[in-house]
Structure 1
Amino acid sequence: MGKSMYTFVAITALALVGLAAVPFNAAAEVKEVRLAKQYGLGYLPLIIMEKQRLIEKHAKAAGLGDIKVTWATLGGGSATNDALLSGSVDYISSGVAPMILLWDKSKGAVKGVSALISSPNYLNTNNPAVKTIRDFTAKDRIALPAVKVSIQAIILQMAAAKEFGQNNFSKLDKLTVTMKHPDAMAALLSGKSEVTGHLTSPPFMFQELDDKRVRTVLNSYTVLGGPHTFNVFATTKAFHDKNPKIYAAVFAAQEEATAYINKNRRAAAEIYREASKTKESLDDLLKEINQPTVSYTVTPHNITRFSDFMYHTGTIKSRPRDWKDLFFPNVHATKGS
Structure 2
Amino acid sequence: MALSIKTLAASLGISLLASSFLAPNLAHAEGEIRIAEQFGIVYLLLNVVRDQQLIEKHGKEEGIDIKVDWTQLSGGAAINDALLSGSIDIAGAGVGPLLTIWDRTHGRQNIKAVASLGNFPYYLVSNNPHVKTIADITDKDRIAVPAVGVSVQSRFLQYAAAKQWGNKEFNRLDKYTLALPHPDATAALIAGGTELSGHFSNPPFQDQALKNPNVHVVLDSYDLLGPNSPTVLFATEKFRNDNPKTYKAFTEALAEAAEFAQHDKGAAADTYIRVTKANIDRDELLKIIDNPQYEFTVTPKNTYPLAEFMYRIGAIKHKPESWKDYFFQDAKPLQGS
Q: TM-score, normalised by structure 1?
A: 0.89
Determine the C-alpha separation between the residues in 1 that align with 2:333 and 2:247. 17
Which residue of 2 is the match for residue 37 of structure 1?
A: 37
Q: Which amino acid aligns with 1:80?
A: I
Which residue of 2 is the match for residue 7 of structure 1?
A: none
Is the CA contact 2:33–2:89 (under 8 Å) kept in the aligned structure 1?
yes
Which residue of 2 is the match for residue 161 of structure 1?
A: 162
- After superposition, the C-alpha distances for 1:169-206 in whole angstroms (9 at most, x for unaligned) are 11100000000000111111111111100001111111
Q: Which amino acid aligns with 1:43?
A: Y
Select the structure of larger CA radius of gyration: 1
Q: Which amino acid aligns with 1:335?
A: Q
Return 5+ residue gaps in structure 1 as ranges. Answer: 1-27
Q: CA offset at residue 292 of structure 1?
A: 1.2
Segments ≥4 residues shifted beyond 6 Å:
none
Which residue of 2 is the match for residue 207 of structure 1?
A: 208
Q: CA offset at residue 245 of structure 1?
A: 1.2
The answer to which structure has the higher helix fraction is 1
SS of residue in 1 equivalent to 2:291: coil
Q: Which amino acid aligns with 1:96?
A: V
- After superposition, the C-alpha distances for 1:117-163 in whole angstroms (9 at most, x for unaligned) are 11111000000111111111101000000000000000000001111
Whether 1:124 and 2:99 are equivalent positions in the alignment is no
Percent identity among equivalent residues?
A: 46
Is the CA contact 2:31–2:243 (under 8 Å) kept in the aligned structure 1?
no
Determine the C-alpha separation between the residues in 2 that align with 1:74 and 1:172. 25
Determine the C-alpha separation between the residues in 1 that align with 2:318 and 2:179. 26
Whether 1:189 and 2:193 are equivalent positions in the alignment is no
Is the CA contact 2:161–2:173 (under 8 Å) kept in the aligned structure 1?
yes
Matches within 5 A, 1:1-337: 29-64=29-64, 66-107=65-106, 109-224=110-225, 226-330=226-330, 333-337=333-337
Determine the C-alpha separation between the residues in 1 that align with 2:323 and 2:139. 37
Determine the C-alpha separation between the residues in 2 that align with 1:278 and 1:41. 10
Q: CA offset at residue 331 of structure 1?
A: 8.0
Is the CA contact 1:84–1:91 (under 8 Å) kept in the aligned structure 2?
yes
- After superposition, the C-alpha distances for 1:255-294 in whole angstroms (9 at most, x for unaligned) are 0111111122111101111222222110111111111111
Q: CA offset at residue 60 of structure 1?
A: 0.7
Q: CA offset at residue 298 of structure 1?
A: 0.8
Q: TM-score, normalised by structure 2?
A: 0.89
Determine the C-alpha separation between the residues in 2 that align with 1:327 and 1:334. 9
Is the CA contact 1:94–1:233 (under 8 Å) kept in the aligned structure 2?
yes
Which residue of 2 is the match for residue 15 of structure 1?
A: none
Determine the C-alpha separation between the residues in 2 that align with 1:331 and 1:126. 47
Q: CA offset at residue 30 of structure 1?
A: 1.8
Is the CA contact 1:78–1:98 (under 8 Å) kept in the aligned structure 2?
yes
SS of residue in 1 equivalent to 2:118: strand
Is the CA contact 1:299–1:331 (under 8 Å) kept in the aligned structure 2?
no
Q: CA offset at residue 67 of structure 1?
A: 2.0
Is the CA contact 1:29–1:246 (under 8 Å) kept in the aligned structure 2?
no
Is the CA contact 2:126–2:215 (under 8 Å) kept in the aligned structure 1?
yes
Q: Which amino acid aligns with 1:288?
A: I
Determine the C-alpha separation between the residues in 1 that align with 2:46 and 2:216. 30
Q: CA offset at residue 330 of structure 1?
A: 2.3
SS of residue in 2 equivalent to 1:213: coil
Is the CA contact 1:131–1:217 (under 8 Å) kept in the aligned structure 2?
yes
Determine the C-alpha separation between the residues in 2 that align with 1:260 and 1:324. 26
Q: CA offset at residue 29 of structure 1?
A: 4.8
SS of residue in 1 equivalent to 2:293: coil
CA RMSD across the alignment: 1.2
Determine the C-alpha separation between the residues in 1 that align with 2:282 and 2:288. 10
SS of residue in 2 equivalent to 1:233: strand
Q: Which amino acid aligns with 2:242?
A: K
SS of residue in 1 equivalent to 2:249: helix
SS of residue in 2 equivalent to 1:46: helix
Q: CA offset at residue 335 of structure 1?
A: 2.9
Is the CA contact 2:66–2:246 (under 8 Å) kept in the aligned structure 1?
no
Q: CA offset at residue 97 of structure 1?
A: 0.7
Q: Which amino acid aligns with 1:209?
A: L
Q: CA offset at residue 332 of structure 1?
A: 7.3
Q: Which amino acid aligns with 1:93?
A: G
Determine the C-alpha separation between the residues in 1 that align with 2:331 and 2:321. 16
